[in-house]
């Protein structure tokens, strides 16, 4: 079924966009074998935009079958890296041409601002497609000296079928983090986007077909995680699962992999990232970056710096400015307002979850420095919130909230803050603010985190690896390192003289 969304009537984007709301399998939009629908909601109003088809186990089965067939016949080892590169570049060009429509759809179902989606999220998505298009014809193995009459060479081969499960907070960006290296290395993909924010990905499926990818190379099957996601994880025809989402779901994926075919798993999971401001920091810049990292997209970012450590010499000054920044951010709006506004959280479920954490903080004795409640009666907006007087065992200090909520902790010494920052089950990202280069060297080495950002908020780059330590997962998205997660290494030994 194709729908025409006509909710755009503003100076940023005017007109309508057509979207096929069925499943994209084997190069065609098809009805699910067992008809199920999911409502898609506008988070800025709480109103239903449309319904989409939700895939089930049988739909995952036929998507994997289509991917396996393509891997054997029209993709994988059957096409050159140069051809894969050409198609990825073509897809990136089509995204650029249709960026307005794609960004409007993503702004509509995610609540994000249209300008940010175009300028930041889609720039990242398109950049990843081009980056890995450049790698597609440059993959190589090694020649290894062994004995005088023998030598070994290695070959990088595609895994086969990759199952990609992507979240609702950065739908297009994270989908391209998975798709681009998987396709560049010759894999076929079954992608299950979040059923909460599927519209842009369904439009993206049209571009995949237009770019010339053979049927079955990319299949897009929205559906519930407990149904379509679980079926994909358990499927014996899938060789790898690439997942971004919660640590709880990541654990379940690991268990399912072990119980099925021991498929490879790459997990980019939750975080509770430290944001450390030292006495010698540029305070104005530190506050701006900290507020951006905490409140952008209503804090729905796994690498958000939600544990804010401030050294005692500048604590009062930083707190004054952070509270002012939080109050200035408390201006809810739609994704199409002329100037960017505070984003809503994505759903009623997420609204209830975040407000539950705020209530927990209050109940456990933390002090609300600013915010602490819902904004307005329409949509899913939450006041930018900061807690002080927190203790290490509080729920709001230990657990990922995934909303515009931060905890602020005063510290005296480097040793104290380093121990506190590393005392976490997570290890995704960390930020430090200081002018002391010796301190930078010490902390970038000592922090137990997959990435460390100095004098800036946590921001990814397609040329650098993204991924965590500890219960923030393992494996890498982006950069050259991600290529290793989408290939198998085969060793070939040649005996050219030694005889028995």
Would you list the domain boundaries of the chain? Answer: 2-269+474-489, 274-461
pTM score, two decimals? 0.95
268 in active site: yes
pLDDT of residue 214: 98
pLDDT of residue 433: 98
Q: For 2-269+474-489, which CATH superfamily applies? A: Aldehyde Dehydrogenase; Chain A, domain 1 (3.40.605.10)
pLDDT of residue 172: 98
pLDDT of residue 9: 63
Close Cβ partners of 324 (under 8 Å, ≥ 6 residues apart): none
Q: Calculate helix-pair angle for 99-110, 171-184, nearest 10 degrees.
A: 130
**Domain with residues 274-461, CATH architecture:** 3-Layer(aba) Sandwich (3.40)
- CB atoms under 10 Å from CB of 446, counted, come to 14
Q: Among 476, 468, 466, 439, which Cα is nearest to 455's?
A: 439
Query: Exposed/middle/buried for 143, CB within 10 Å: 0-12, 13-18, 19+?
Result: exposed
Query: Exposed/middle/buried for 454, CB within 10 Å: 0-12, 13-18, 19+?
Result: middle
* Spans of the chain below 70 pLDDT: 1-3, 5-11
Identified catalytic residue from 106, 268, 383, 400: 268
| 30 DSSP β-pair partners | 23
Close Cβ partners of 325 (under 8 Å, ≥ 6 residues apart): 287, 288, 290, 291, 295
pLDDT of residue 197: 97
pLDDT of residue 6: 64
| 145 DSSP β-pair partners | 151
Cα dihedral 276, 282, 285, 291 in deg (nearest 10): 30
Q: What angle do CA 444, 450, 453 make, to 5 degrees?
A: 50
Q: Among 303, 307, 256, which Cα is nearest to 468's?
A: 303
How far is Cα 163 from Cα 230, in angstroms, rounded to an integer?
A: 11
pLDDT of residue 341: 81
Q: Among 409, 449, 452, which Cα is nearest to 434's?
A: 452
Q: DSSP E strands: which ranges in 367-441?
A: 367-370, 374-375, 381-382, 385-388, 405-411, 426-427, 429-433
Q: What are the tokens at 422?
A: 């590393």
pLDDT of residue 500: 76
Largest distance between two CA atoms of the chain: 83
């Amino acid at each position: 079924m194709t729908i025409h969304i006509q909710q755009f009537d503003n100076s940023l984007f005017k007109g309508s966009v057509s979207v096929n709301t069925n499943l994209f399998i084997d190069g065609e939009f098809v009805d699910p074998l067992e008809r199920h629908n999911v409502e898609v909601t506008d988070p800025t109003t709480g109103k239903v935009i449309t319904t989409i088809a939700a895939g089930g186990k049988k739909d995952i089965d036929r998507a994997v079958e289509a991917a396996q067939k393509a891997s054997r016949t029209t993709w994988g080892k059957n096409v050159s890296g140069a051809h894969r590169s050409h198609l990825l570049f073509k897809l990136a060009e089509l995204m650029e041409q249709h960026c307005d429509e794609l960004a409007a759809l993503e702004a509509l179902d995610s609540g994000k601002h249209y300008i940010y989606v175009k300028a930041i999220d889609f720039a990242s998505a398109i950049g990843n497609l081009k980056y890995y298009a450049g790698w597609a014809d440059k993959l190589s193995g090694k020649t290894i000296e062994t004995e005088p009459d023998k030598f070994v060479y290695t070959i990088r081969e595609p895994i086969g079928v990759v199952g990609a499960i992507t979240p609702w907070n950065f739908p297009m960006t994270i989908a391209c983090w998975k798709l681009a290296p998987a396709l560049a290395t010759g894999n076929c993909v079954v992608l299950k986007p979040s059923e909460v924010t599927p519209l842009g990905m369904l439009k993206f499926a049209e571009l995949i077909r237009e770019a010339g990818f053979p049927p079955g190379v990319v299949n897009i099957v929205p559906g519930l995680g407990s149904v379509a996601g679980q079926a994909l994880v358990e499927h014996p025809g899938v060789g790898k699962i690439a997942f971004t989402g919660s640590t709880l779901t990541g654990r379940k994926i690991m268990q399912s992999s072990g119980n099925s075919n021991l498929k490879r798993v790459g997990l980019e999971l939750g975080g509770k990232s430290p944001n450390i401001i030292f006495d010698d920091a540029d305070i104005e810049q530190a506050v701006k970056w900290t507020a951006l990292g905490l409140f952008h997209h209503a804090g729905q970012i796994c690498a958000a710096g939600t544990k804010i450590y401030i050294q005692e010499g500048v604590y009062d000054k930083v707190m004054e400015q952070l509270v002012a920044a939080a109050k200035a951010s408390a201006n809810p709006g739609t994704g199409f307002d002329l100037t960017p506004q505070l984003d809503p959280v994505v759903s009623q479920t997420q609204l209830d979850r975040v407000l539950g954490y705020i209530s927990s903080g209050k109940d456990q004795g933390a002090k609300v420095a600013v915010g602490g409640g819902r904004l307005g009666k329409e949509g899913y907006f939450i006041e930018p919130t900061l807690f002080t007087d927190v203790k290490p065992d509080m729920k709001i200090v230990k657990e990922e909230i995934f909303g515009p909520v931060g905890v602020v902790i005063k510290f005296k010494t480097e040793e104290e803050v380093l121990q506190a920052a590393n005392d976490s089950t997570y290890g995704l990202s960390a930020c430090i603010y200081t002018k002391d280069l010796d301190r930078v060297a010490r902390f970038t080495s000592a922090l137990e985190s997959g990435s460390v950002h100095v004098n800036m908020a946590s921001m990814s780059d397609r040329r650098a690896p993204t991924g965590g330590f500890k219960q923030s997962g393992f494996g890498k998205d982006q950069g050259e390192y991600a290529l290793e997660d989408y290939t198998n290494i085969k060793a070939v030994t040649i005996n050219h003289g030694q005889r028995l």
